[in-house]
Amino acid sequence: MDTIYEGALAKINLTLDVLGKRGDGYHDLQSIMQTISIRDDITLHLGTGEPWKLVCDKDWVPTDERNLAWKAAKVFFETLGKDPNGLAIEIVKRIPGEAGLGGGSADAGAVLRALNRYYDSPLSVYALCELGAQVGSDVPFCTLCGTAMVEGRGERLRKLPDIPEMFFVVCKPDFSVSTPELYQKLDETAIAHRPDQRAMEAAIAKGDLAEIADKLGNVFEPVVISQHLELNYIKSILNSYGSYGQQMTGSGSAVFGIFDSFEYAAVACTMLKDNYSEVFIAKNA
């Protein structure tokens, strides 16, 4: 039996725009995504000689073929025509669920990277991302990691320059948002402000932290805030303690703030922990 390890990095959306509904029922997206250092840990045991199994330290995570990590392994082995002779997946979960941080997708991406490495990298990273698209919309980016423009359903990726080192305070409030319901509401809403993708790309190319923070934009955020005003409270705390910019990630409900120093981030984190149990400090990764 062989054992391999891989970290699964959370993602945030620096920009997120929904361009419209497609004929297949999905939506076309345009988003600049960034991986951050909040991570799950994935352990794979190959050659167990037993039926596949998945275990996780959090009881809300599915431990069967519904899990995206399981699906990713299945797609990998089917595509390469290989049989691991038994597989066990262990997940140590730190990325909050239903937060817009891509936790399940991060796990799937980590499984794809780990298996590809184990078999001496038969697939390029972009071929691996294409496999990820069969598993879930955020999986291609969570396989690639770093900074990237993501388009379509998530399957079209363009790598961008790395952003400068910055610190993120991420706060997951106690409520979650139904993504399908949110899309439906967005379809019925006139979008007043869309993120300026070109301006964000220019800020990233310059490596200007303040400008990156200034160009944040997520079309889902006003829709969620209209029902959950406490997101404004979280944003105000982040702003009060030195955040350059703050925004909801993905379809929510986690909010992040951008800081230029660990010290300021730590103070904001401490203040939020008075009211919220899931508050993290992270760096871009």
Which pLDDT does position 26 carry in this prediction?
78
Q: Active site residue: 11, 71, 93, 172, which one?
A: 11
Is position 138 annotated as part of the catalytic site?
yes
Which pLDDT does position 230 carry in this prediction?
96
Which pLDDT does position 174 carry in this prediction?
94
Which pLDDT does position 244 carry in this prediction?
98
Which pLDDT does position 23 carry in this prediction?
74
Q: Active site residue: 71, 93, 138, 172, which one?
A: 138
pLDDT beyond 80 at 48 = yes
How confident is residue 190, by pLDDT bands cut at 50, 70 and 90? confident
Is position 283 annotated as part of the catalytic site?
no
DSSP the chain: -EEEEEEEEEEEEEEEEEEEE-TTS-EEEEEEEEEEEEEEEEEEEE--SS--EEEESSTTS--STTSHHHHHHHHHHHHHT---SSEEEEEE--SPSSSSS-HHHHHHHHHHHHHHHHTT--S-HHHHHHHHHTT-TTHHHHHH-SEEEEEETTTEEEE-PPPPP-EEEEEE-S----HHHHHHHHHTS-------HHHHHHHHHHT-HHHHHHT-EETHHHHHHTT-THHHHHHHHHHHTT-SEEEE-TTSS-EEEEES-HHHHHHHHHHHTTT-SEEEEEEB-
Q: What's the pTM value of the predicted model, to 2 decimals?
A: 0.96
Which pLDDT does position 18 carry in this prediction?
93
Mean pLDDT of 163-171: 98
Pairing of strands 217-218, 27-46: unpaired
Mean pLDDT of 174-187: 88
pLDDT beyond 80 at 24 = no
CA distances (Å), origin 47, targets 6, 31, 111, 117, 136 = 18, 39, 15, 16, 26
Per-residue pLDDT tens for 95-104? 999 999 999 9
Per-residue pLDDT tens for 213-252? 999 999 999 999 999 999 999 999 999 999 999 999 999 9
- The residue among 184 and 59 whose pLDDT is bigger is 59
